[in-house]
Amino acid sequence: MIFLSALQEMMRLEPAMRKMLRLTKREYFAVIKTKGFIAMLILLPILMSGGFIAKKISESRIDTSDKKIAVIDHSSVMAEALVDASEQRNKTDVFDTETGKKQRPSYPIEILTPNTAELRKLRLELSDRIRNGDLHAFVEIGADVIHPGADRQASRVAYHSKNSMTDDVRGWVEWPINNRLRSLRLSDAGIDESEVKDLFHWVAAEGLGLATLNEETGELVDAERTHGIEAIGIPIFMIMTMYMMILIGAQPLLMSVMEEKTQKIAEVILGAIGPFEFMMGKILGIVGVTLTAASFYMIAGIISLNIMGYSKYINYSLLPWYFTYLILALLMYGSVNAALGATCNDSKDVQSVAFPALIPLISCMFMMGPVLKEPMSEFATIVSLLPPFTPLIMMLRQSVPGGVPVWQPWLGVSGMLLFTVFLIWIGGRIFRISILMQGKSLKLKNIIKWGLRG
């Protein structure tokens, strides 16, 4: 009986749905056909990876002018270590082995004899030389570095330069010094270095994945090394594209609804179609446009990964989830934006509502780091089950190797569905009431009142 009346209801609604889809079709093509859409499709990835590209460009433009380092060696046995290391570096790292072109600066070492009486004056002199560019840095090696004692200053290596915290050279300097320190300490302890070659062999813990059982063939599949691409690259790609898609998909709705209101098109449309169908028609148009763009990016991404040889890291089972989250997210954020757009009378109003509506979305970006690091933590789990955050955060958690327990995405999607239906219902009411109201500045409490009472 219920089924029959539901069917009857659907038949009654069928012309309404068809009208709505006509509107959707118009909205969809109105965007797709514009040059702006094609341009955005191509430019967006360039913009988003702008940081990455800039880094690559800056790397290829390294300043190759030499960085001279002055050394004050109180221990009197360390300085040659730096000289040797610098010369070794000149042979291997500074010049390109094929072209002979200088790729990186060399680090010439200038050894100074320490004069304890005039030490502070010497430091000032060296600092001035750094300021006028004659020197890059000066290093003061304490007398007790071989066997560090209570005197802190004598047991340390002090590195002075303009920006010593972020200075690469400071890191480089540590290696030859510590290697020489080891040798010296060994010989002090009377141990022949050649007998204890692997004393300092640091064993890194390699990151591997999990062993699996191939369900078709019954074969055991050994664990494979995890790759940065899998652990970080693909998850970030997916979440960034989804973020972009939601941002660029939902935002224009605000403007578009406001324009239709202020250009008085809204009432003309309402003469033909109900307000709810009007709102949904527009939202579905945006969903269509965004899905088109997202498919484009997914296909481009898959092709690129295949070309780069990373095809085995692609988890195809994520794709249906990706598109589900994207569609629900667009419905969610879209209905909020459409409803708010109906309350706006000019672009100033639009600007003041645009940002608050996006706060949940933007805050996902800040949570990316912690979630990526600890996808199974309580924080990550709870946040991923909150509907405004589910599309991005749950997607992120799912795409990290190891995944999440099966029930969680399903719970997330259910939560999103309910929340989205609720938002569409409220948004529809706000839309219906405000779309024809001109001129009054609409207060938040009025908007909420309409949403709840209709």
Partner 1 sequence: MDVHMATVELEQVSKTFGSVNAVNTLSMSVPEGSIYGFIGPNGSGKSTTLRMIMNIIYPDSGSIRLFGETITGMDNEQIGYLPEERGLYKNMKVREVLTFLGGLKSGRNVGPEVDTWLEKFDLMDWAGKKVSALSKGMSQKVQFIATVVTKPALIILDEPFSGLDPVNMETLRKAVLELRAAGTTVIFSTHDMNVAENLCDYIFMIFKGNKVLDGTLESIQNTYRSDTIRLRTDGGVSVLNGLSGVESIHDSGQTQELRISSMSNPQEILSQVMARTTVKSFEITKPSLHDIFIRIAGDDEIGASHA
Structure tokens given for 302? 């898959």
Residue 263 C-beta: closest distance to partner 1, Å: 4
DSSP-H helix ranges across 265-317: 265-270, 275-307
Residue 401 C-beta: closest distance to partner 1, Å: 47
Task: Quote the CA–CA distance of 335 and 429 in Å, as a whole number.
Answer: 11
Structure tokens given for 436? 């024809």
Q: 148: helix, coil or strand?
A: coil
Q: Closer to partner 1 by CB, 234 or 266: give it.
A: 266
Q: Closer to partner 1 by CB, 263 or 317: give it.
A: 263
Residue 343 C-beta: closest distance to partner 1, Å: 16
Instruction: Return all residues near 263 (Cβ < 8 A) that are at least 6 apart.
Output: none
Q: Closer to partner 1 by CB, 232 or 436: give it.
A: 436
Write the burial class of residue 322 (CB in 10 Å: 0-12 exposed, 13-18 middle, 19+ buried). Answer: buried
Q: Give the binding site for partner 1 (CB under 8 A).
A: 15-16, 18-19, 22-23, 26, 30, 263-265, 267-275, 436, 438
Strand partners, 139: 71, 159
Q: Closer to partner 1 by CB, 143 or 273: give it.
A: 273
Q: 70: helix, coil or strand?
A: strand
Structure tokens given for 299? 């296909």
Residue 340 C-beta: closest distance to partner 1, Å: 21
Residue 257 C-beta: closest distance to partner 1, Å: 13
Tell me, what DSSP letter sits at residue 69?
E
Task: Quote the CA–CA distance of 255 and 354 in Å, as a whole number.
Answer: 9
Residue 291 C-beta: closest distance to partner 1, Å: 22
Residue 266 C-beta: closest distance to partner 1, Å: 8
Q: Closer to partner 1 by CB, 190 or 271: give it.
A: 271
Instruction: Return all residues near 28 (Cβ < 8 A) that are at least 6 apart.
Output: 285, 288, 289
Q: Closer to partner 1 by CB, 26 or 373: give it.
A: 26
Write the burial class of residue 367 (CB in 10 Å: 0-12 exposed, 13-18 middle, 19+ buried). Answer: middle
Q: Closer to partner 1 by CB, 56 or 440: give it.
A: 440
Q: What's CA 109's distance to the chain center, in Å?
A: 41
Strand (E) or helix (H) holding 105? none
